[in-house]
Amino acid sequence: MLFTELWSYRVIERLLAEAGIQINGSNPWDITVHNKDFYSRILKSGTLGLGESYVEGWWDCPSIDSFIDKLYRSNIESKIKQNKRLLLRLFFHRVFNFQTKHRAFEVGRKHYDLGDDLFMSMLDKRMTYTCAYWKKAKNLDQAQEAKLELVCQKLGLKPGMRVLDVGCGWGAFLQYAAEKYGISGVGITVSKDQAVLAQQNCREFPIEIRFEDYRELKKSGEKMEKFDRIVSLGMFEHVGHKNYKTYMKIMYDSLKPGGLFLLHTIGRDDTSYATDEWIAKYVFPNGMLPSIKQIGESIEKLFVMEDWHNFGADYDKTLLAWHENFNKNWDKLKNNYDHNFFRLWNYYLLTCAGAFRARVNQLWQIVLSKEGVPGGYVSVR
């Protein structure tokens, strides 16, 4: 082993040991390394190199979610010096708008349009691609219905209300709300495939599905469409810090007086201007997770914050359920997706589960009103 290779190995070995992880150890969270260049690649490329090298078969781990959980809890990022490439990337994400209207549809093409067969095989029966609510649920279907019901109750839905779903996915929420509460509404998505299937799923109800970006809700010279309630489940992660205020202003203008807006989003504990590099490159292009500070600044002088509910630990269980379904149904999917995709998708689901388990990622449901609920809002759990 060359000196540089030995030095890289020793550095990574020490950092992993501080997290309770051994190289070629016997614990489920220990890693087995198949390529000696793994160590220098991690030092050079960080999480991007870690994910790419896994997909390429350079290393394996029986429990990637436990491995990631331990890495986060050891605060390993602060122990590895930031390289110039990463600092430059953070600078560009802070200065430039990577979530423009033109770029908004990229995540639809590259992620949500991967194939309905993939998501049907992985998700619950309603195809709900956001964190489930496991308080009393025994399985994924129950947990997702509990989440949809939780949202309906938090919004105080009543028959005849008109609801806007921003980032409606395959129409799960609008279908459920129309079926159980008698509402009508509009759903928007930046995914062509989602729009087609959502229209089919909601065809029996007074629901309109549109293939459009949230900025198209407010068109120059046209009267703003108004809604009794607005909901956005798992879409705010694609908005970007440069657009938070614009997004909130559009939601404010679209909401009737006395209306409520429920924002369901993944969040992070600290303020940043870019997401994990591997996730951004291979899973969710142009995404970023908001902080409490960023959301607070975006709603200032617009909304009253009525309720803020964190059940981020439930995303760990949700992701593991998706992971189980994906692997259980792989034999039906493998003719349409290659082995690299199999490793990539497993890595995506399990690393995200580990991040939520370590509590570095959160899941927030935030209820907002325009002028404050008279007498106060009653929180629902």
pLDDT tens, position by position, for the chain (381 residues)?
Answer: 566 778 889 989 999 999 999 999 999 999 999 999 999 999 888 899 999 999 999 999 999 999 999 999 998 766 555 544 444 444 444 444 555 665 667 888 889 999 999 999 999 999 999 999 999 999 999 999 999 999 999 999 999 999 999 999 999 999 999 999 999 999 999 999 999 999 999 999 999 999 999 999 865 446 778 999 999 999 999 999 999 999 999 999 999 999 999 999 999 999 988 788 899 999 999 889 999 999 999 999 999 999 999 999 999 999 999 999 999 999 999 999 999 999 999 999 999 999 999 999 999 999 999 999 999 999 999
C-alpha span between 68 and 338 (Å, rounded): 24
Comparing CA positions, the residue from 145, 138, 100 lying closest to residue 124 is 145
Asked whether 171 and 187 are in contact (CB, 8 A), the reply is: yes
Amino acid at 253: D
pTM: 0.92
The predicted pLDDT at position 88 comes to 41
Q: Which of the residues 61, 152, 168, 352 is marked catalytic? A: 352
CATH 3.40.50.150 placement within the chain: 102-369
Contacts of 57 (CB under 8 A, 6+ apart): 34, 343
C-alpha span between 54 and 57 (Å, rounded): 5
C-alpha span between 147 and 228 (Å, rounded): 20
Neighbours of 371 (CB within 10 A): 10
Q: Alpha helices of the chain — where are they, by DSSP H?
A: 3-18, 38-55, 64-73, 84-95, 106-107, 116-122, 140-155, 172-181, 192-201, 244-254, 277-282, 292-299, 313-328, 330-333, 339-357
The predicted pLDDT at position 207 comes to 97
C-alpha span between 54 and 43 (Å, rounded): 15
Active site residue 352: yes
C-alpha span between 67 and 22 (Å, rounded): 10
**102-369 maps to CATH 3.40.50.150:** yes
